[in-house]
């Protein structure tokens, strides 16, 4: 029995067809993956089901009945809930207040009743969360649980999760999967969007693959290997990461970090006495469970966070005390970790691409728009960005926003490239592409700092690997002596070696 049926859904944005006669059906009690490259149309299809977009043609049936969904109100009335990647929570309110927000027909809220019903739902589905906690004190993983609770509180029987694991650390992913299994055991149905093939093959029953806005088909998960899935998703052959290119002849030390300490946003120690050297033509991998200071390290190294002690010396020049702009002009390039912070959504692709180096495009205070557009066209081709120079950033798919950021930073040829979680949320082809770009930076002689939670990625790319734990570097290994077990032990804080 299909709880949802979408038939021949077509959606245009201007002249671009984001969904082209897509068929999709969801069975009761299944977890159904939507898989496809960045920009394939996954989010668009689910936004139509949730009433955030209106299809140009095609129909939706819920439990066998044709329905019109014009807004989330209609989809909620049809027991459909969606958790997007950017949560719509109110930080200064409690969990319970957020959950019942907009879903009460009473004038005066009955907080006690709300709290106990939220606590009941939380217990039932293993969504460990205190209804009285303030949302602003919660981690990303906990906030996601609140969003799921909100959907369940509205009696969702269909739950749409758009890249829910992109923001989670591995342990949180396990917890989420436990919850999803409980939900489907209870007869709910889940749409799961992810780029991670191992997650998709681990948790889903069926997979629908989108490519360029069209459905390639729906398959049973158990019939498919990773290679088969990747081949279905990707048009051209994927880039193959090859780390064995040009051995760099003479490597010299480029970045020297001495006794670096810094505080986090709460004023607590985030970096403790960090000593690191990065050489020309080297990728230094930083491994670690997220939240152990990696984010603050990246910020301190590009001057957006002040250090409390220590020294950052790039090519003989001390950078401490300089502004973020001076860090950039001295040769520090950071690919921002939070994509939405790194771009200005209301500006166009070409404006965003020029953003950090406007001086290149201005003459006596006037901007040369022709040059900005030409620059953008070149980068769009080089970095295979699926967009036009004049498109507003907010209309791009997640992966294409990441490519814009990458293009902007790398096109300035920084001496040091800081890449925190650079492939998060990218499809297989795009992730390989980004990795290849990092290798090319290394091969042209830059020093690359690759911060990643993905051990396979760290091991595949790095020349040396440093492990962070509780704000400290607990070990630095040569890639040749590193393996997942050894790194895992260091990451857990169980051992220390230098
Ligand atoms: N509001 C919008 N206005 C204009 N174009 C849009 C809008 N939303 C999406 N698009 C375009 O529709 C296409 C499909 O985008 P969509 O976000 O559905 O892709 P996706 O499969 O979710 O990709 P990703 O994996 O990167 O999130 C993209 O080319 C995107 O630029
Ligand atoms: Mg998307």
> What's the pLDDT tens digit per position in 421-467?
898 878 888 888 889 999 999 999 999 999 998 888 999 999 999 99
Q: Residue 40 CA: which ligand 1 atom is closest?
A: 21
pLDDT at position 202: 93
Distance between CA atoms of residues 187 and 181, nearest Å: 10
Domain annotation for the chain: domains and CATH numbers: 2-233 (3.40.50.300), 238-331+414-498 (3.40.50.300), 343-413 (no CATH)
Q: Please state the rounded mean pLDDT for residues 118-132.
A: 84
Tens digits of per-residue pLDDT, 324-354?
A: 889 998 999 998 877 667 777 788 999 888 8
Ligand 1: residue whose CA is nearest its atom 25:
38
Of 219 and 137, which is predicted with more confidence? 219
Choose which residue among 11, 12, 13, 34 to substitute to test ligand 1 binding: the one with the highest number of ligand atoms within 8 A of its C-beta: 13
- The token duo for 395 is 């209309």
State if residue 84 touches ligand 1 by the CB under 6 angstroms criterion.
no
Q: Residue 177 above 80 pLDDT?
A: yes
pLDDT tens digits, one per residue of 265-320 = 888 899 999 999 999 999 999 998 878 899 999 999 999 999 999 999 999 999 99
> Distance, CA 45 to ligand 1 centroid (Å)?
10
Rounded Cα gap, residues 17 and 291, in angstroms: 40
Q: Which atom of ligand 1 is nearest to the CA of 37?
A: 25
**Does the pLDDT value for residue 52 go beyond 90?**
yes
The answer to whether the CB of 85 is under 6 A from ligand 1 is: no
386 pocket-lining for ligand 1 (C-beta < 6 Å): yes
**Which residue owns the Cα nearest ligand 1 atom 7?**
395
- Is there an atom of ligand 1 within 6 Å of 40 CB? yes
Residue nearest (by alpha carbon) to ligand 1 atom 12: 18
Does 218 score more than 90 pLDDT?
yes
Indicate which atom in ligand 1 lies nearest the CA of residue 398.
26
Which pLDDT belongs to residue 235?
Answer: 59
Instruction: Name the token pair of 325.
Output: 């702009």
Q: Which pLDDT band, with edges at 50, 70 and 90, does 486 fall under?
A: confident
Protein residue closest via CA to atom 5 of ligand 1 = 395
Q: What is the mean pLDDT of residues 40-48?
A: 96
pLDDT at 230: 79
Distance 70 CA to ligand 1 centre (A): 19
With a pLDDT cut of 70, the percent of the chain lying above it is 93
480's CB contacts (< 8 A; 6+ apart) are none
Cα–ligand 1 centroid distance for 64 (angstroms)? 28
Residue 234 pLDDT > 80: no
CA–centroid distance, residue 371 to ligand 2 (Å): 31
Query: What is the position in ligand 1's atom list of the atom closest to the CA of 387?
Result: 31
pLDDT at 203: 96
The whole-angstrom separation of Cα 9 and Cα 20 is 6
pLDDT band at 240 (very low <50, low <70, confident <90, very high): very low
Answer whether 42 contacts ligand 1 (Cβ < 6 A).
yes
Any ligand 1 atom below 6 A from CB of 41:
yes
| pLDDT given at position 362 | 77
Number of the ligand closest to the Cα of 35: 1
Ligand 1 proximity of 396 Cβ (cutoff 6 Å): yes
* Bridge partner list, 392: 348
CB 177 within 8 A of CB 149: no
Q: Best substitution site from 9, 18, 399 to test ligand 1's pocket, by max atoms within 8 Å of Cβ?
A: 18
What pLDDT, on a 0 to 100 scale, did the predictor assign at position 237?
Answer: 39
Q: Which residue's C-alpha comes closest to atom 29 of ligand 1?
A: 39
Q: Which residue has the higher pLDDT, 223 or 24?
A: 24
Cα 398 to middle of ligand 2, angstroms: 6
pLDDT at 246: 44
Looking at ligand 1, which residue's alpha carbon is closest to its atom 4? 395
Let me know: does 131 contact 52? Beta carbons within 8 Å: no
Atom in ligand 1 nearest the alpha carbon of residue 210 = 21
| Choice between 111 and 329, residue whose per-residue pLDDT is larger | 329
- The rounded distance, in Å, linking the Cα atoms of 207 and 218 is 5
395 touches ligand 1 (CB under 6 Å) = yes
**Tell me, what's the pLDDT at 102?**
67
Whether pLDDT at 239 is above 70:
no
Closest ligand to Cα 42: 1
Compute the distance from residue 12 Cα to the ligand 1 centre, in Å. 10
Query: What pLDDT, on a 0 to 100 scale, did the predictor assign at position 340?
Result: 67
36 lines ligand 1 (CB under 6 A): yes
The CA 41 to ligand 1 mean position distance, Å, reads 6
Mean pLDDT along residues 182-202: 93
> Is the CB of 39 within 6 Å of ligand 1?
yes
Q: Report whether pLDDT(51) > 70.
A: yes
For residue 118, which phi and psi values (nearest 5 degrees)?
-65, -40
- Nearest ligand, CA of residue 400? 1
Q: 213 CA to middle of ligand 1, Å?
A: 9
Decide if pLDDT at 244 tops 70: no
The better pLDDT of the pair 426, 106 is held by 426
Does 429 contact ligand 1 (Cβ within 6 A)?
Answer: no
Q: How many CB atoms lie within 10 A of CB 118?
A: 27
Smallest CA separation from ligand 1 atom 1, residue? 395
**Whole-number mean pLDDT of the chain?**
87
Q: What is the pLDDT of residue 245?
A: 44
pLDDT at 215: 94
Q: What is the pLDDT of residue 342?
A: 74
Q: Phi and psi of 60, rounded to 5°?
A: -120, 135
Grade residue 78 by pLDDT with cuts at 50, 70 and 90. very high
């Amino acid at each position: 029995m299909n709880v949802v049926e979408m038939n021949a859904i077509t959606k245009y944005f201007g002249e671009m067809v984001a969904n082209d006669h897509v068929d999709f059906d969801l069975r009761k009690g299944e977890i159904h993956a939507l898989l496809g490259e960045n920009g394939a149309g996954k989010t668009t299809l689910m936004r139509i089901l949730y009433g955030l977009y209106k299809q140009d043609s095609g129909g939706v049936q819920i439990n066998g009945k044709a329905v019109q969904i014009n807004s989330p109100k209609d989809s909620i009335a049809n027991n459909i809930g969606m958790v997007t990647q950017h949560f719509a929570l109110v930080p200064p309110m409690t969990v319970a207040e957020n959950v019942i927000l907009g879903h009460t027909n009473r004038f005066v809220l009955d907080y006690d009743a709300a709290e106990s019903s939220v606590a009941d739902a939380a217990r039932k589905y293993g969504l460990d969360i205190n209804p009285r906690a303030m949302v602003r004190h919660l981690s990303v993983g906990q906030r996601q649980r609140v969003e799921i609770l909100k959907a369940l509180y509205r009696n969702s029987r269909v739950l749409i999760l758009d890249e829910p694991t992109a923001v989670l650390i591995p342990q949180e992913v396990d917890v989420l999967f436990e919850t999803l299994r409980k939900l489907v055991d209870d007869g709910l149905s889940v749409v799961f969007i992810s780029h991670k093939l191992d997650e998709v093959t681990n948790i889903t029953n069926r997979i629908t693959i989108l490519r360029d806005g069209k459905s390639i088909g729906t398959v049973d998960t158990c019939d498919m290997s990773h290679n088969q899935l990747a081949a279905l998703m990707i048009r051209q052959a994927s880039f193959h990461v090859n780390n064995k290119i040009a051995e760099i002849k003479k490597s010299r030390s480029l970045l020297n970090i001495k006794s670096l300490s810094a505080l986090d946003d709460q004023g607590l120690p985030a970096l403790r006495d960090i000593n690191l050297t990065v050489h020309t033509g080297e990728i230094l991998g930083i491994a670690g469970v997220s939240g152990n200071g990696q984010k603050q390290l990246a910020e301190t190294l590009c001057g957006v966070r002040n250090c409390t002690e220590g020294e950052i010396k790039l090519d003989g020049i001390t950078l401490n005390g300089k502004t973020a702009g001076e860090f950039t002009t001295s040769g520090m390039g950071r690919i921002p970790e939070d994509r939405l912070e790194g771009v200005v959504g209301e500006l166009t692709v070409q404006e965003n691409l020029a953003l950090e180096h406007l001086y290149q495009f201005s003459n006596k205070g006037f901007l040369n728009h022709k040059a900005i557009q030409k620059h953008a066209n070149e980068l769009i081709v080089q970095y295979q960005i699926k967009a036009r120079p004049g498109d507003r950033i907010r209309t791009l798919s997640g992966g294409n926003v990441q490519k814009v950021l990458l293009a902007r930073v790398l096109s300035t040829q920084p001496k040091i490239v800081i890449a925190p979680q650079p492939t998060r949320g990218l499809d297989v082809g795009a992730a390989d592409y980004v990795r290849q770009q990092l290798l090319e930076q290394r091969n042209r002689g830059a020093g690359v700092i690759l911060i990643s939670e993905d051990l396979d990625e760290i091991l595949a790319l790095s020349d040396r690997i440093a492990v962070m734990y509780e704000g400290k570097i607990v070990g630095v290994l040569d890639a040749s002596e590193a393996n997942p077990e050894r790194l895992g032990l260091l990451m857990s804080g169980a051992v220390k070696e230098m």
